[in-house]
Structure 1
Amino acid sequence: MWTFLFPKRFSLLKAFVFLFIGMSFLVRFTFFIWDYAEVDAQLSSIARTFATGLFFDIGTLPLFMLPFLIYLLVFPKKWVGTLVDRSITWFGFFLAILIIYFSFFGEFTFWDEFQRRFNFIAVDYLIYTYEVVKNINESYPLPLLLSSLISLVGITLFICYKRKLFYHTFNNETSFKQRFTATLPWLVICILFSFYISNSQAEWSKNRYNNEISKAGIYSFFAAFRNNELAFSEFYSTIPEKDAFAIVKKQYSPFKDEFVHPNKNEIYRTVHTPDTTGIEQKPNVIFICIESLSGKYLNSLGSDLNITPVLDSLANNSLFFTNLYATGTRTVRSMEAITLSIPPTPGRSIVKRSNNTGLFTIGEVFKNKGYDRNFFYGGDGYFDNMNTFFGGNGFNIVDRGRGFLLDANINVKRTNIEDDEVTFENAWGVCDADIYNKVLKEADIAYATGKPFFDFVMTTSNHKPFTYPEGKIDIPSGTGRNGAVKYTDYAIGAFLKEAKTKPWFKNTVFVIMSDHCASSAGKWELDVANYHIPAFIFNLSQQPNAKINTLCSQIDVFPTLFSTLGWDYKSNLFGMDILKMTPQNERALIGNYRKLGYLKDNKVMVLGDGETVNFYQWNPLDNGLQQTPMNESFKKIAIANYQVADELYHNGGLQLKSLHQ
Structure 2
Amino acid sequence: VSYLLGYWYLFIFWVLLIAGMIKFYPKLMWLRVIEIRNKLWYSILLFSISLLIIGGGFGVARGLEGKPLRLISANDYVSPKFTPLLLNTPFSVVNTMGHKTLSGKTYFSFSEAEKYYSPLHQFNKNESFKPRNVVIIILESFSSEYVFGHKTEEANFTPFLDSLISQGLLCSNTVANSYNSRDALPAILAGFPSLERIDYMGSRYSTNNFRGLPFLLKQKNYHTSFFHGGHNGTMSFDIFTKAAGIDNYFGFDEFVAARGKSGIDGGWGIYDDCFFQYMAEEMDKFPEPFFSTLFSLSSHDPYPIPKSIRDKFPEGPLPILKSVAYTDYSLRNFFDTIKTKDWFANTLFVIVADHTSQSILPEYKNPKARFAIPLLFYSPGDFELQGEFKGICQQTDIMPSILDYLNYEKSFIAWGNSVFEDDYRFAVNYLGTTYHIIDSTYFLNFDGYKSWAIFDYQKDPMQKYNQCNTGVDIQCFVEPYLKAYIQQYEYRMINNLMADTLLRFSDDNIAEMGVN
Aligned to 2:349: 510
How big is the shift at 1:434? 2.4
Query: What is the CA RMSD across the aligned residues, in angstroms?
Result: 3.4
The unaligned stretches of length 5 or more in structure 1 are: 1-133, 172-224, 250-266, 403-413
1:550-586 CA distance string (max 9 Å, x none): 111111123223323333232212322213335xx02
Aligned to 1:245: 114
Which aligned pairs between 1:17-416 and structure 2 lie closer than 5 A?
134=1, 136-140=3-7, 142=8, 145-155=10-20, 157-158=22-23, 165-167=27-29, 169=31, 228-233=99-104, 238-249=107-118, 267-274=119-126, 278-299=127-148, 303-304=151-152, 306-353=156-203, 354-356=205-207, 358-400=209-251
How big is the shift at 1:432? 1.3
Q: Please, which of 629, 635, 654 is the counterpart of residue 479 of structure 2? A: 635
Aligned to 1:34: none
1:151-207 CA distance string (max 9 Å, x none): 34324653566xxx4346559xxxxxxxxxxxxxxxxxxxxxxxxxxxxxxxxxxxx
1:95-134 CA distance string (max 9 Å, x none): xxxxxxxxxxxxxxxxxxxxxxxxxxxxxxxxxxxxxxx5
Decide whether the 8 Å contact of 1:588 with 1:599 is kept in 2.
yes
CA distance in 2: counterparts of 1:369 and 1:230, whole angstroms: 36
How big is the shift at 1:295? 0.1
CA distance in 1: counterparts of 2:434 and 2:259, whole angstroms: 42
Decide whether the 8 Å contact of 1:237 with 1:612 is kept in 2.
no
CA distance in 2: counterparts of 1:457 and 1:438, whole angstroms: 11
Aligned to 1:529: 369
C-alpha spacing 1:636/1:226, structure 2 compared with 1 (3 Å):
farther
CA distance in 2: counterparts of 1:325 and 1:567, whole angstroms: 25
Which aligned pairs between 1:481-560 and structure 2 lie closer than 5 A?
481-519=320-358, 527-542=367-382, 543-560=384-401
Match of 2:282, SS? helix
Match of 1:483, SS? helix
Higher RCO by CA contacts (8 Å cutoff, separation 6 or greater): 2
Q: Which moved more, 1:555-564 or 1:416-425?
A: 416-425
How big is the shift at 1:416? 7.0
User: Residue type matched to 2:198 in 1?
Assistant: R
Match of 1:472, SS? helix
C-alpha spacing 1:247/1:347, structure 2 compared with 1 (3 Å):
same
1:219-273 CA distance string (max 9 Å, x none): xxxxxx965444143xx67333442233213xxxxxxxxxxxxxxxxx4442223
C-alpha spacing 1:487/1:401, structure 2 compared with 1 (3 Å):
closer
Aligned to 1:193: none
Aligned to 1:454: 291
Aligned to 1:466: 303
How big is the shift at 1:594? 3.0
User: Residue type matched to 1:462 in 2?
Assistant: S
Decide whether the 8 Å contact of 1:328 with 1:591 is kept in 2.
yes
1:471-527 CA distance string (max 9 Å, x none): 3353489992111111111111110111112222122221110011114999x9982
How big is the shift at 1:422? 4.5
* Richer in helix (by share): 1
When normalised by structure 2's length, the TM-score is: 0.74
User: Matched residues, percent identical?
Assistant: 19
How big is the shift at 1:370? 1.9
CA distance in 1: counterparts of 2:453 and 2:263, whole angstroms: 50
CA distance in 1: counterparts of 2:453 and 2:419, whole angstroms: 25
CA distance in 2: counterparts of 1:537 and 1:514, whole angstroms: 13
Structure 2 residue 441 is matched with structure 1 residue 441: no
CA distance in 2: counterparts of 1:149 and 1:421, whole angstroms: 33
Match of 1:320, SS? strand
Decide whether the 8 Å contact of 1:526 with 1:597 is kept in 2.
no
User: Residue type matched to 1:337 in 2?
Assistant: A
How big is the shift at 1:533? 0.3
Structure 2 residue 449 is matched with structure 1 residue 615: no
Length, aligned pairs only: 429
1:21-44 CA distance string (max 9 Å, x none): xxxxxxxxxxxxxxxxxxxxxxxx
